[in-house]
Every structure is written in structure tokens, then in C-alpha cells.
Amino acid sequence: MAWLLKRTIAIILLALLLVLVVRCFASLHRNPLADVLQSDIGPLNQACWHYICPGRTSFGEADALIRAQPNRVNHIYFHKYPGSSTSLCWSDAFLLGATVCAEQPQPGTDIIDYVQIGPLGDDFPVSLGDLISVFGAPSSANLCVRGEPDLQNSQATSVEVTYKAMHVMLEAYNSHLPAWKIDPTQTIHYVEFYNSTIPLYDGVTWDWRGFVHGPGWVVVCNG
């Protein structure tokens, strides 16, 4: 009986050791650019993008934050006209020159509503799986087929995964039709940090259950 107990303990310890080795190996090979896309966690566990917090940070505060990083930020563009939306955009050298925009679609307010990184594309070396390894498991997923501008409007499987608690959404696509599924290798298109409401989308939505094939028939979206 004692030998059986010892053998069981040895098997358990070996399994734990293997888990630790796998985790260490994964951390050593994690995409470093995905860490740059990681959010800050502000009050109420809401995600912020480098201290720019949708719903709390003003455009003036955001402008001061990005101008304090001249080695990282350039091509700053501010757009505000009476009766129109407000946007503050810039290029981020740490993201290989990708565009980041802070936006407020409602006129008459100076508080940022959302921050959007992108559009990114096939030449941006971060996949959907890379970002999910940074943010953790999403709360829900959306899948549809639509024309992608990055692919000359040819049809692609479009994926949106959301983190409702943090108000974060990741958009990705897979040009390998008819792959009606969520795949970790899919190309990241946008990373978005919202104030409160995650927009509704066409297509089919379900609670996150991993990298799986989409439920039911293929759904074609207009946008």
C-alpha cells in the first residue's frame, strides 16, 4: 500500500513539474510586441491604454501624455470642429508605426470615449493567440464573413472577441476561407478600449469556449 501511495505522489509531482516547464517555455517564447499592446488596469478594473482611460481622460490630458514620449510618438493629429466628432491620432514607434486614435463620437464633450489601435495587417507580427495569451480568456466571441479592406475587399472570416469587464475588444480576420472558425493564428486588425458599451455586431455571438469552429451555418455580414 505504501509503494502505491509513493508512486501516486511521484506521478503528481512529475505532472506539476511538466506544467511548470511548459509555462516557463511559453513565457520565454511569448511575443514581446503583444506585451506592448497590453492595457493598464485603472479604477473599476477598466482597461486603459498607457494611462489614457476612456470615460475619464480628456483630450488635453491625452495630448500631454503622448507628447511626453517623443521617442515613441510622432505624426500627432488632432481633429475637432463644432458639431462633429473629436479625434486625437498618432503613430506609435513601439508598435512598428501603427496608428493609435483616441475618439469621442459625440460633439460637445472633451472626454475620450474609446481608444483604437489599427488598422493592423498581415505584416504586423502579432496574432489573435498572442493577444489572448496577454489579456486572458475573453468573455464572448463573434464570427461572420465580410469583405476586408486589407484584402482588397475580398471575403474573410472576421472575428471579434470581447472582454466585457475591462471594455476591451480584439478584432481579427482569417483570409483562408472557408475556415468558419476562431484560430490563434488569425491576423489582428484592431485593438479597442471602450468607455462602457461594447458595440453590437452582425454575425453569430456566443460565450467564449476557446479556439473552435463557429456554430451553425456561415453568416455573411454587410460591413
Q: What is the pLDDT of residue 22?
A: 36
**pLDDT band (50, 70, 90) for residue 223:** low
Asked whether residue 11 carries a pLDDT value surpassing 80, the answer given is: no
Q: Please enumerate in sequence order all residues whose Cβ is within 8 A of that of 23, keeping only pairs 6 or more positions apart, or say none.
A: none
Find the range with the poorest average confidence among 39-43, 65-69, 70-74.
39-43
- CA–CA separation, 219 and 78 (whole Å): 38
Higher pLDDT, 159 or 8: 159
Section 130-150 average pLDDT: 85
Q: What is the pLDDT of residue 67?
A: 94
Angle at 169 between CA 155 and CA 211, to 5 degrees: 65
- CA–CA separation, 74 and 55 (whole Å): 24
Asked whether residue 29 carries a pLDDT value surpassing 50, the answer given is: no
Count CB atoms within 10 A of the CB of residue 115.
26
Q: Are 175 and 144 in contact (CB under 8 A)?
A: no
Asked whether residue 150 carries a pLDDT value surpassing 90, the answer given is: no
Q: Percentage of the chain with pLDDT > 70?
A: 72
What are φ and ψ of residue 18, in 5° steps?
Answer: -65, -40
Domain limits, the chain: 33-207
**pLDDT band (50, 70, 90) for residue 12:** very low
* Helix or strand holding residue 10 (H, E): helix 2-28
- CA–CA separation, 70 and 162 (whole Å): 32
Find the range with the poorest average confidence among 18-22, 103-107, 123-127.
18-22
133 burial via Cβ count (<10 Å: 0-12, 13-18, 19+): middle
Q: What is the pLDDT of residue 73?
A: 92
Q: Please enumerate in sequence order all residues whose Cβ is within 8 A of that of 38, keeping only pairs 6 or more positions apart, or say none.
A: 134, 135
Average pLDDT, the chain: 78
Section 100-120 average pLDDT: 91
Asked whether residue 144 carries a pLDDT value surpassing 80, the answer given is: yes
pLDDT in tens, 160-201: 999 988 889 999 987 665 578 898 988 898 999 998 776 666
Section 6-15 average pLDDT: 46
Asked whether residue 13 carries a pLDDT value surpassing 70, the answer given is: no
Angle at 65 between CA 62 and CA 67, to 5 degrees: 105
- CA–CA separation, 133 and 31 (whole Å): 9
Number of residues in the chain = 223
Higher pLDDT, 218 or 147: 218
Asked whether residue 3 carries a pLDDT value surpassing 90, the answer given is: no
Starting from the edge strand earliest in sequence, which strands make up the sheet with 140-148, in order?
73-80, 86-92, 98-104, 114-117, 187-194, 168-174, 154-163, 140-148, 204-207
71 burial via Cβ count (<10 Å: 0-12, 13-18, 19+): exposed
